[in-house]
Amino acid sequence: QQQVKQSPQSLIVQKGGISIINCAYENTAFDYFPWYQQFPGKGPALLIAIRPDVSEKKEGRFTISFNKSAKQFSLHIMDSQPGDSATYFCAASRETSGSRLTFGEGTQLTVNP
């Protein structure tokens, strides 16, 4: 019940295209859903996060879509750039209790020039 399932495992997109990464969770107690970006040899960097009181959040080229009834959320990267090539992790937690993050398995995104 603590799992977060992420897909696809890898994704190749052309420059200017849209990258879409999907996650599904099981624990209905989760109330905080962040996305992290990780470059090789670096720590994960918080990209964008959403709470279940909204269905969508946009920050620049990055958008999170959230479907509470389906227990799914996704990251959309518009106008993908080669500099976006990295590993992306979705995560979930029970924010109100300051608890641990449960991470998805990660998606390795490659944006070709």
Partner 1 sequence: NAGVMQNPRHLVRRRGQEARLRCSPMKGHSHVYWYRQLPEEGLKFMVYLQKENIIDESGMPKERFSAEFPKEGPSILRIQQVVRGDSAAYFCASSPPAGGSFWGEQFFGPGTRLTVL
Question: Which residues 6+ apart lie within 8 Å of 93 measured at CB?
Answer: 30, 31, 32, 99, 100, 101, 102
Residue closer to partner 1 by CB (options 77, 101) is 101
Residue 70 Cβ, how far from partner 1 at the closest point, in Å?
22
Q: Does 69 bind partner 1 (CB under 8 A)?
A: no
Question: Of the ranges 16-24, 30-38, 59-67, 73-81, which one interacts with partner 1 (CB under 8 A)?
Answer: 30-38
* φ, ψ (nearest 5 deg) of residue 106: 100, 150
Looking at beta carbons only, is 6 or 80 nearer to partner 1? 6
Q: Site for partner 1 (CB under 8 A): which residue of 30, 80, 106, 111?
A: 106
Least Å from the CB of residue 9 to partner 1: 10
| DSSP assignment of 27-74 | -TT--BEEEEEE-TTS--EEEEEE-TT-SEEEETTEEEEEETTTTEEE
How far is residue 106's CA from residue 97's CA, in Å, rounded to a whole number? 25
Which residues of this protein are in contact with partner 1, per CB under 8 A?
6, 32, 34, 36, 42-46, 49, 89, 93, 95-96, 98-106
